[in-house]
Amino acid sequence: MDDPRILVTGGAGFLGSHLCDRLVASGRDVLCVDNFFTGSKRNVAHLIGQPHFELMRHDVTFPLFVEVDRIFNLACPASPVHYQYDPVQTTKTSVHGAINMLGLAKRTGARILQASTSEVYGDPEVHPQPEGYWGRVNPIGIRSCYDEGKRCAETLFFDYHRQHRVDIKVMRIFNTYGPRMHPNDGRVVSNFIVQALKGEDLTIYGDGSQTRSFCYVDDLIEGMLRLMDSPAGFTGPVNIGNPGEFTMLELAELVLKQVGGASKLVHKPLPADDPKQRKPDIALAQSALGWQPTVALEDGLRETIAYFRKLLAS
């Protein structure tokens, strides 16, 4: 397809805005849709007025009638602070949003990519997590609105694929960080950086031995684009993330080393259902997409800290 018309839902969010940047830079026509619950016009302000970019306020829990060739479905609050604020709406966004976007893909014949999450694995008993692992998720906990909403969305994608032959791609995103993260999203990277820049103590939940794997946003978007452009027979799901594994204590020390200052570490109780380990098995992404992350955590943190330093100063 020479010049596809591309819809990005959640396009004014952290990941969505970086995706819009890449697509517009490549000369694609992009319709960015967002209800601005966690997304911000500031993230795409530099694109407004460009001939290949259009911004629309819309909530994906309602049907959308547009003509497009490709759909990136990224709409959903992705941090516990935001998705637990209105858990019913979070589930609606994942489930009704998937139904509406899949319906649009079915009508227009568009290829559609679902931004799923490593949270579908829950608090895993298998480490690292391969795509064939079905997960260990609490269906009635405080994180369930997001975890189970995303799991149900994957179910819908594969049922639309089997029943209606919709051309789908499903990616499971592991912890991603970088410029344009929301400063108050409660995620560990933004938490540590903002606290350190403000000279506050860094909050460690539990003993800090729980691990996460952090993927820089540029690497993540490259993986997303490669998955969208992969052959029609390859649906995923496919893990996209950085297999480098760090404890929360190690991350805190890296942030303090780069920011400086006299911040100390303070410990608070571990939230309910917080996974103890999170690390992607990316063998499938490497073999099927020729993708693997290239940005080291230290380098990505440097860019992210510079962004937050400028944001807080303004």
Element (H, E) at 149: helix 144-164
Domains of the chain: which residue ranges?
5-178+216-242+279-293
> pLDDT band at 78, cuts 50/70/90?
confident
**All residues at 6 or more sequence positions from 205 whose CB lies less than 8 Å from its CB, including other chains:** 248, 267, 268, 269, 270, 271, 274
Residue that has been written with the tokens 């912890």 in this structure: 175
Q: What average pLDDT is seen over the chain?
A: 94
Give the pLDDT confidence score for residue 24 in this predicted structure.
Answer: 98
Segment 173-188 mean pLDDT: 90
Give the pLDDT confidence score for residue 32 in this predicted structure.
Answer: 98
Give the pLDDT confidence score for residue 86 in this predicted structure.
Answer: 87
- Strand ranges, E, within the chain: 5-9, 29-34, 53-57, 70-73, 111-117, 168-173, 176-177, 202-205, 211-213, 215-216, 238-240, 245-247, 265-268
Catalytic residue among 85, 121, 133, 146: 146
- The answer to whether residue 270 scores a pLDDT higher than 70 is yes
Give the pLDDT confidence score for residue 2 in this predicted structure.
Answer: 63
Q: Whole-prediction pTM value?
A: 0.94
| Distance in angstroms between the alpha carbons of the first and the last residue of the chain | 42
307 is catalytic: no
Give the pLDDT confidence score for residue 148 in this predicted structure.
Answer: 96
For residue 26, count CB atoms less than 10 angstroms from its CB and return exposed for 0-12, middle for 13-18, buried for 19 or more: exposed
Between 76 and 153, the higher pLDDT residue:
153
- The answer to whether residue 66 scores a pLDDT higher than 80 is yes
Q: Are 217 and 16 in contact (CB under 8 A)?
A: no
Give the pLDDT confidence score for residue 275 in this predicted structure.
Answer: 72
- The answer to whether residue 36 scores a pLDDT higher than 60 is yes
In this structure, which topology does domain 5-178+216-242+279-293 adopt according to CATH? Answer: Rossmann fold (3.40.50)
